[in-house]
Amino acid sequence: MKDILILGIESSCDETAASVVKNGRTVLSNIISSQIELHKLYGGVVPEIASRKHIEKINQVIQQALDEAGVTLDDLDAIGVTYGPGLVGALLVGVAEAKAIAYAKKLPLVGVHHIEGHVSANYIEHPDLEPPFLCLIVSGGHTHLVIVKDYGKFQILGRTRDDAAGEAFDKVARAIGLGYPGGPKIDKLSKEGNPHAIEFPRAKIGDCPYDFSFSGVKSAVLNYLNHAQMTGQDVNRADLAASFQNAVVDVLVEHTMLAARDYGMKKIAIAGGVASNGTLRVAMDEACQKRDYKFYCPSPIFCTDNGAMIGTAAYYEYLKGTRHGWDLNAVPNLKLGER
């Protein structure tokens, strides 16, 4: 059978990324141009700056992805692109670029849901992984617990009621003066702290045991800091970071294990930026080993926003016959389809 080569393009937030993926699971190149240094100055992603940087970088990133893969646009079979959810101006850059290439080269255009991309990152390094499996998606904008019933087909069991997991990491990091992006900084600082130093609340949602809420633990950290400041006490930032992280990881693992038991799932995956968190990876792996479940997680480079995960997701959509027309637009609040 002829190889299928897909160019995956991702520009939904602050990474301009492109990748060439062969037959859905072989990554020939994975180029990520991160804007983190630029947004650090402002303590978070500034949408207009993100869009402007994407437009400046996207052609170079795509050319580099093609060069590294040793192919040209003429070798491609389809173009996959994130069309939502995300920042509208940022998404539009990738979508317009993908449409232009598809139009010029008469190639099929496959719009991809960003979260479907994150989930698909698990396929890249695990050739044995096939649906159905349970997946915890934890990123800067999303926290979902889903059953991946088939490629691109999801049953949502739980979601966050307020902040996303990554958002909580970023907000707590800002409060303790670590700067942006907070997740990796809390991860690092926590290694020097005692995760049991401070007991932070673990929110339980009465009517849906698989839902999450992180605003309580975030407020508890802020209250702890305020109280320490008012009473002139020193704050051990490493202990604080480790205790916060422990509270979040506990809940993520507990809810995932509960859903696995209730739905009889024995394959568990994690995805999204927060999935590169060291403590979460170890805790989830241990919990899975204890129950004889198989645990999957992408390498950190495929957890962060990247084009390879979009190329992989686009491949399975392509096989199913998903094609988008010239009217494809950015959809900033695109829902994860329960098809």
Binding interface with ligand KG4 (CB under 6 A) = 13, 139-141, 166, 169-170, 181-184, 187, 272-274, 276-277, 304-305
Segment interacting with Zn ion, rule: CB under 5 A, options 121-129, 133-141, 171-179, 331-339:
133-141
Question: Smaller CB distance to ligand KG4: residue 29 or 190?
Answer: 190
Binding to Zn ion (CB under 5 A): which residues in 275-294? none
Of 94 and 140, CB closest to ligand KG4: 140
In the complex, least distance from residue 216 CB atom to ligand KG4, rounded to whole angstroms: 18
Query: What tokens appear for 137 in the block?
Result: 């998606």
Query: Shortest gap between Cβ of 130 and ligand KG4 (angstroms)?
Result: 23
Return the one option of Zn ion, ligand KG4, none that residue 83 interacts with (CB less than 5 to 8 A, by type).
Answer: none
CB of 275 to ligand KG4, least distance (A): 8
Site string for Zn ion, 301-320 (x = CB under 5 A): ----x---------------
182 makes contact, choosing from Zn ion, ligand KG4, none, with CB < 5 to 8 Å by partner type, with: ligand KG4
Q: Does 139 bind Zn ion (CB under 5 A)?
A: yes
CB atoms near residue 37 (< 10 Å):
7
> Which of the choices Zn ion, ligand KG4, none does residue 187 contact, using the CB cut-off of 5 to 8 A by kind?
ligand KG4
Minimum CB distance to ligand KG4 smaller for 170 or for 317: 170
Q: Which is nearer to Zn ion, 12 or 322 (CB)?
A: 12
